[in-house]
Structure 1
Amino acid sequence: MSDIKYLTPLGYKKLKDDLDFLVNEERARVLQKIAEARSHGDLSENAEYDAAKEEQSQLEIRISNLQTVLSAAKIIEAGSVKTDKVYILTKVALEDVKTKEKVNYQLVSSEEADLEQGKISVQSPIGKSLLGKSLGDKVDVVTPGGGKTFQILSISSK
Structure 2
Amino acid sequence: MDKVPITRNGYRHLAQKLMHLRRVVRPQVLEELQEARLYGVKADNQQYLLARENHSVLVRKIHDLETQLARCEIFVGRKFLSKVVGFGTWTVVRNVDTGETHRFQMVGPFESDVANGRLSIHSPVGRSLMGRTEGDEVTVFTPAGERNYQILEIQP
Give the alignment's TM-score, normalised by structure 1: 0.87
How many residues matched?
155
Say which SS state the counterpart of residue 80 (structure 1) adopts: coil
Specify every segment of 5 or more residues in structure 1 that has no aligned partner in the other structure, as ranges.
none
2:87 matched residue in structure 1 = 88
Residues 81 and 90, structure 1, Cα contact 8 Å, conserved in 2: no
- 1:114-125 to 2 correspondences below 5 Å: 114-125=113-124
Say which SS state the counterpart of residue 45 (structure 1) adopts: coil
Runs (4+) off by over 4 Å:
none
Say which SS state the counterpart of residue 29 (structure 1) adopts: helix
Identity among equivalent positions (%) equals 35
The CA distance in 2 between the partners of 1:84 and 1:42, in whole Å, is 63
Q: CA-atom RMSD, angstroms?
A: 1.8
The CA distance in 2 between the partners of 1:42 and 1:98, in whole Å, is 61
The letter for the 1-side match of 2:29 is V
1:138 equivalent to 2:137? Answer: yes
Say which SS state the counterpart of residue 136 (structure 1) adopts: coil
- 1:1-158 to 2 correspondences below 5 Å: 1=1, 3-77=2-76, 80-82=78-80, 83-157=82-156
Say which SS state the counterpart of residue 132 (structure 2) adopts: coil
Specify every segment of 5 or more residues in structure 2 that has no aligned partner in the other structure, as ranges.
none
Q: How big is the shift at 1:39?
A: 0.5
Give the alignment's TM-score, normalised by structure 2: 0.88
